[in-house]
Amino acid sequence: MKIKIGKNISETQQNIIIIAVTFLIAILIWQIQSEEKPKAKQFDRPDIQTLIPKGYNLYALDIENIESIDSLVENYALVNIFQVNAKKKAQLILQKIKLIRSLKNSEHFAILATNEQLEVITSYPGPFKVALQNPTAPNETIKKRKFIPKRKIITEDSL
């Protein structure tokens, strides 16, 4: 390929100029691409055991409605925990418990519970359902309504 750059430049000199310009363009592209990708800052994560307050335990929880909670909770939330039973209605187990997302696997959650709360939750079989709680709401217990079965009264006239 012949490119006429000037009358006094030989073909060898033209090839050297073309190679040099191509090399400079390649270096420029490489520099631009390396500037666009910022390097991730490396930091040491503290050991999770050092973050657990005294008197509390971190308990991994088997959550039945994990997809909904995963889409609503970013890192942590206050929740109510219900025990799910196919034969009965859901039963409230614990209120205003801190739910924390796992650092290593973001699809798993754990609760921060006292020893007494841990005894309560481990006495029930999983999986559990979790409902988000308003952190500013007063800590009121949920009143359970008694289930009154409906009775069918048959009179002699209705036969």
Do 59 and 122 lie in one domain? The reply is yes
* Prior bond of 135 cis (ω within 30°): no
Task: Give per-residue pLDDT as tens, 32-45.
Answer: 887 665 555 555 55
Phi, psi (deg, nearest 5) at residue 26: -65, -40
pLDDT at 109: 86
Specify the pTM.
Answer: 0.54
Do 66 and 127 lie in one domain? The reply is yes
Number of domains observed in the structure of the chain: 2
Phi, psi (deg, nearest 5) at residue 94: -135, 150
Question: DSSP secondary-structure letter at 114?
Answer: E
Do 33 and 63 lie in one domain? The reply is no
Task: Give per-residue pLDDT as tens, 16-75.
Answer: 999 999 999 999 888 888 766 555 555 555 566 667 788 888 888 888 888 888 888 888
Domain that holds residue 10: 1-42
Any domain includes 94:
yes
Task: Give per-residue pLDDT as tens, 99-143.
Answer: 888 877 878 888 888 888 888 888 888 788 888 888 777 666 555
State the residue for tokens 């025990």.
Answer: 83
